[in-house]
Amino acid sequence: MATGETGFDDVTFDLVSVQYHSLKAGHDYGQYVRDARNAGRDDIASFFEQVMAEDSARAKQCHEFIKDLAGSTPATA
């Protein structure tokens, strides 16, 4: 298992990255929902809410994988 410059293995780093970007996007989507509602486009607001829920689920799955990796022993070469 390679360890990059961060000190974390590549898979953990990748999961943390996806989790971060999913959470960040979810935060941004809240504004998109408000913008759509303010424009009277509940259909678009619903779409943004769906996307936000998908990113939230993605972040949660990353969290579960990270917990799993933290509890496992590293592979030896």
Taking the C-alpha atoms of 26, 30, 33 and 35 in order, what is their torsion angle to the nearest 10 degrees?
Answer: -130
Residue 63 lies in a domain: yes
What mean pLDDT do residues 34-45 have? Answer: 98
Does a structural domain hold residue 21? yes
- Is residue 1 pLDDT above 50, yes or no? no
The yes-or-no verdict on residue 47 having pLDDT over 80 is yes
Residue-number span of the structural domain to which 35 is assigned: 11-70
Residue 4 burial by Cβ neighbours in a 10 Å radius (0-12, 13-18, 19+): exposed
Tens digit of each residue's pLDDT (9 = 90 or more) over 12-37:
999 999 999 999 998 899 999 999 99
Could you tell me if residue 3 is inside a domain? no
Q: Is residue 19 part of a domain?
A: yes
In a domain, 2, yes or no: no
Buried/exposed 36-67: b ≥16 CB within 10 Å, e otherwise? beeeeeeeebeebbeebeebeebbeebeebee
Number of domains the chain is built from: 1
Query: What is the tens place of the pLDDT at every residue in 49-58?
Result: 999 999 999 9
32 falls within a domain: yes
pLDDT at 66: 95
